[in-house]
Chain A
């Protein structure tokens, strides 16, 4: 085990924790935070859509696409989580080697990347979807244009997924 040095030194916490904690946290945060973002987005879109469809019933089916975009955010979160998970193997050498430290920290980072991208993307899709529902109820030709904005908002979660996948390739296999 690495020498802890002075007990109140800045690295004491980091070097005495088993680094595999961080890898597990990465998986959890990737899925969890993406779930938070998607759920928040659903909540924001749902009420506006329902209220607007009282007078204009045609929008209730068209705007399920916004809901699908929010769901996509959650799915990207799951995929990121699974990709990170695939790097965690059965190797349990104690004490952890320096490679273990590096791999774990990389997996944590990739989880946080996917998670934060998931939250902001879910929120963004929600706010834009809410505006889209209200605008479409007034003027039907606006739907497709606002949908393009939502596609870009949803792409943020996709970027998070891709970054997470690329990061995990740096972690050693069967960590």
Chain B
């Protein structure tokens, strides 16, 4: 009612965060619907897509682009728009919404760090790499990542000034940074980040906890399943694999300990049959719909539920994830159109 330690309840939430929640709900109303996708599918060229998008909330965002449009340009501009909306809210938010929005950006920061290190290992130019980074995950010491060669250096010179510093504690044992270890480092950082975010949402309590705990638990389980499937045939030992699973989620602890011992994908499917939600997801896959698509679809379903309640922070997180899914959809449709593969154009995931 009056709110737990975190944000306000039904009587006090609006004082600090009511305006932003209403603003995000306005943004959400502009997410493309089935009717918009039906228009986009019928386009024959990217210029037609630009015309149709101009009639949605996107407006004239592609107006200044030079004439042969590329799908990468469309994706960049859509992302830029999303980032502007996020930054607009983040700049005005106060605690605890400010911390919550920061937590959303840490995931992108981890991706950027790994991207820069991998690029450095392949001797790419730092400025070129920084342009490819996700804009929501910028932090100040990004350029210094080119001088990093070991994990200890990574921590001491770069990460210690970023909010990612506490997440690297579990992988300070690694010495060298090479192809294999980079993935392990990425997954360790992400595991620590997810656990931290989950605990923070529990602290906030109320509606936020109710919505975010489901979403984050699914995220943890999805990471566990993907790590398992991707590690078949690599040098990652089973013990190391188990260390990378987040320690929360529907699959934790029994499911993850079983997953750690599997050797092929049929065993994985057998384990997941015990969990109703994942059994449905796996049975939903087919030749046209990969496991990843099924996961995306389930994620969209969970994120849509955040908008059913009021006075919680779930709407901010869910709006960003739904927009990202929309950008993936637009890019898929654009690629199908530009490569003349209209038969596959219906394989996007509808949101509303």
* Interface residues, chain A, with chain B CB atoms under 8 Å away: 40, 43-44, 47-52, 54-56, 123, 126-127, 130-131, 133-134, 137-138
Question: Which residues of the other chain, B, contact A47 by a CB distance below 8 angstroms?
Answer: 14-15, 18-19, 22
Q: Is B23 an interface residue (CB 8 A)?
A: yes
- Assess whether A51 is in contact with B11, with CB atoms less than 8 Å apart: no
Question: Which residues of the other chain, A, contact B20 by a CB distance below 8 angstroms?
Answer: 51
Q: How far is the CA of A138 from the CA of B352 in the complex (A)?
A: 13
Number of interface residues of B (CB under 8 A): 16
- Assess whether A130 is in contact with B310, with CB atoms less than 8 Å apart: yes
Q: Is B25 an interface residue (CB 8 A)?
A: yes
Mind listing 7 A-B residue pairs with CB under 8 Å? A47-B18, A51-B21, A51-B25, A51-B26, A54-B23, A55-B30, A138-B25
Query: How many whole Å from B86's CB to the nearest CB in chain A?
Result: 15
Q: How far is the CA of A140 from the CA of B27 in the complex (A)?
A: 17
Q: Is B10 an interface residue (CB 8 A)?
A: yes
- Assess whether B26 is in contact with A48, with CB atoms less than 8 Å apart: no
Q: Is B29 an interface residue (CB 8 A)?
A: yes
Query: How many whole Å from B312's CB to the nearest CB in chain A?
Result: 13
Query: How many whole Å from A14's CB to the nearest CB in chain B?
Result: 32
- CB within 8 A of B10: which of A52, A127, A133? A127
* Interface residues, chain B, with chain A CB atoms under 8 Å away: 10-11, 14-15, 18-23, 25-27, 29-30, 310
- Assess whether B29 is in contact with A138, with CB atoms less than 8 Å apart: yes
Q: How far is the CA of A47 from the CA of B26 in the complex (A)?
A: 13
Nearest opposing residue in chain B for A56, CB measure: B26
Query: How many whole Å from B84's CB to the nearest CB in chain A?
Result: 14
- Assess whether B19 is in contact with A137, with CB atoms less than 8 Å apart: no
**Given A43-B15, A137-B29, A51 and B23 touching (CB < 8 A)?**
yes
Query: How many whole Å from A115's CB to the nearest CB in chain B?
Result: 17
Judged by DSSP, the binding face of B is: helix
- Assess whether B11 is in contact with A52, with CB atoms less than 8 Å apart: no
Query: How many whole Å from A52's CB to the nearest CB in chain B?
Result: 4
Question: Which residues of the other chain, B, contact A55 by a CB distance below 8 angstroms?
Answer: 23, 26-27, 29-30
- CB within 8 A of B25: which of A43, A44, A49, A137? A137
Nearest opposing residue in chain B for A130, CB measure: B14
Q: Which 7 A-B pairs have the closest CB atoms?
A: A51-B22, A55-B26, A47-B18, A51-B19, A52-B22, A51-B23, A47-B19
Nearest opposing residue in chain B for A44, CB measure: B14
- Assess whether A134 is in contact with B25, with CB atoms less than 8 Å apart: yes
- CB within 8 A of A52: which of B15, B25, B30? B25
Q: How far is the CA of A122 from the CA of B15 in the complex (A)?
A: 15
Question: Which residues of the other chain, A, contact B10 by a CB distance below 8 angstroms?
Answer: 127
Question: Which residues of the other chain, A, contact B14 by a CB distance below 8 angstroms?
Answer: 43-44, 47-48, 130
Query: How many whole Å from B111's CB to the nearest CB in chain A?
Result: 30
Question: Which residues of the other chain, A, contact B18 by a CB distance below 8 angstroms?
Answer: 44, 47-48, 51, 130
Nearest opposing residue in chain A for B24, CB measure: A51
Question: Which residues of the other chain, A, contact B11 by a CB distance below 8 angstroms?
Answer: 40, 44, 123, 126-127
Question: Which residues of the other chain, A, contact B15 by a CB distance below 8 angstroms?
Answer: 43, 47
Q: How far is the CA of A43 from the CA of B15 in the complex (A)?
A: 7
Q: How far is the CA of A71 from the CA of B50 in the complex (A)?
A: 48
- Assess whether A48 is in contact with B22, with CB atoms less than 8 Å apart: yes
Question: Which residues of the other chain, B, contact A137 by a CB distance below 8 angstroms?
Answer: 22, 25-26, 29
- CB within 8 A of B26: which of A52, A123, A130? A52
Query: How many whole Å from B299's CB to the nearest CB in chain A?
Result: 22
Q: How far is the CA of A68 from the CA of B5 in the complex (A)?
A: 33
Query: How many whole Å from B325's CB to the nearest CB in chain A?
Result: 20
Q: How far is the CA of A66 from the CA of B258 in the complex (A)?
A: 56
Query: How many whole Å from B145's CB to the nearest CB in chain A?
Result: 38
Q: How far is the CA of A44 from the CA of B310 in the complex (A)?
A: 12
Q: How far is the CA of A168 from the CA of B262 in the complex (A)?
A: 79
Q: How far is the CA of A134 from the CA of B18 in the complex (A)?
A: 10
